[in-house]
Amino acid sequence: MTTTIDLTRDIEQRLDALAARTGRTKAFCLHEIIAQGIADMEDYYLAADVRERVRKGEEPVFSAAEARSHL
């Protein structure tokens, strides 16, 4: 899939420097950046969902002592 984005001059320069420093292509760097960003966002939203279930009382919460007792 091909996607076009506009980068600020600063971001473009940082991407160029990263590619040069690592010996990788800009495309490779962008792919890795996007993959890591998606993983980070998935983690964030999963945690936000759990936090909301805890707030609503739909998710059990254990103290440290309770957690240790189950080990």
pLDDT tens-digit readout, 19-62: 999 999 999 999 999 999 999 999 999 999 999 999 999 999 99
> In the chain, what are the domain boundaries?
9-69
Segment 61-65 shows an average pLDDT of 96
Looking from the CA of 71 toward its CB, the CA atoms found within 13 Å total: 6
- Asked if 59 and 53 touch (Cβ cutoff 8 Å), the reply is yes
Block residue for tokens 């292509």: 25
Q: What's the rounded Cα separation, in Å, for the pair 65 and 71?
A: 10
Radius of gyration from C-alpha coordinates of the chain? 20
Residue 59 CA neighbour count, 13 Å, CB half: 11
pTM listed for this prediction: 0.74
